[in-house]
Amino acid sequence: MYQGFSDGDLFVNVVSGLGGLFAALIFTVPSYFFLMNGVALAINFQHLSNDLRMSIRGEDGTLAVRSLEWFRLRHSQLCTLLEVADGIFAPWICLTLVCSTVQVLAAIFGFYADSDVQVATAVSGVYWLLSYFFQMAVTLLTGAIVHEAAHEPLKFLYQLDQAKMDIPEALQLQTFLNKLTCNRIGFTAWKIFPINKEAFLLVFGTYVTYQILLFELQLDLGLDAQMDEVGFCLQLHDSKVIASNFTHFW
């Protein structure tokens, strides 16, 4: 690629640096795109929750304007839009979390195992390590924000007085509550698990567990190598002693 140029050529170094920066920006663009879509969905859910809160009379627990069915249908439409977005982003979310976790494990283990890392290599490694952390943080934070916003109407629905409702309104309320309590609303990692606050603990626990296993593996391999070296030296010493005694005997 750099044929005809010297390693210390300023033009080559500038082009290489700009190319690396451009590649890093492309690497993080999907995270920003996912963040913008997630925030837009969360804002719509929050508008719905705010309208529901403003419509509830605090003194008697009834709706002042609109009907409960109107809020339920509006929430259902937003959930349908969220399911479409999840169908698009779910494979990317799963791939991002898995690959970023593996890359972080490999990068930290590489720094731990190799003590002769050059400064430029270390700076580049730290940059990409932070990029992987950034992607995981944006993905998990966006999913948690959308999940909380989609379930926010739940705390306002409990303020409604069911004793003052007729049968159709009570059925509407129960349908709305079942949707919010029994269904998983939000982004998912390829339908495997939802992206919410609990996902932070899941990813963090997975990372810590396997990072400790890698460190223990490195220690075990280092100890085994040292024991093999000591055993070889002892065998070599014993062979020399036997050969010396045999020569002395004859």
Closest CA to 125 of 13, 24, 1, 11: 24
What residue spans of 151-166 are helical by DSSP H? 153-157
d(CA 150, CA 155): 11
Phi, psi of 187 (to 5 degrees): -75, 155
**Which are the contacts of 209, defined by CB distance < 8 A and separation ≥ 6?**
none
d(CA 250, CA 246): 6
pTM (2 d.p.)? 0.82
d(CA 78, CA 63): 21
Over range 129-134, report the average pLDDT. 88
Closest CA to 157 of 176, 171, 139, 141: 176
For residue range 181-230, what is the model confidence (pLDDT) as tens digits? 988 899 999 999 999 999 999 999 999 999 898 888 876 665 445 545 54
d(CA 190, CA 196): 14
d(CA 65, CA 55): 6
Mean pLDDT lowest among 102-106, 207-211, 246-250: 246-250
- DSSP track, 8-74: T-HHHHHHHHHHHHHHHHHHHHHHHHHHHHHHHHHHHHHHHHHHHHHHB-TTT--BSSS-HHHHHHH
pLDDT level of residue 249 (50, 70, 90 thresholds): very low
Asked if residues 104 and 207 have their Cβ atoms less than 8 Å apart, the reply is yes
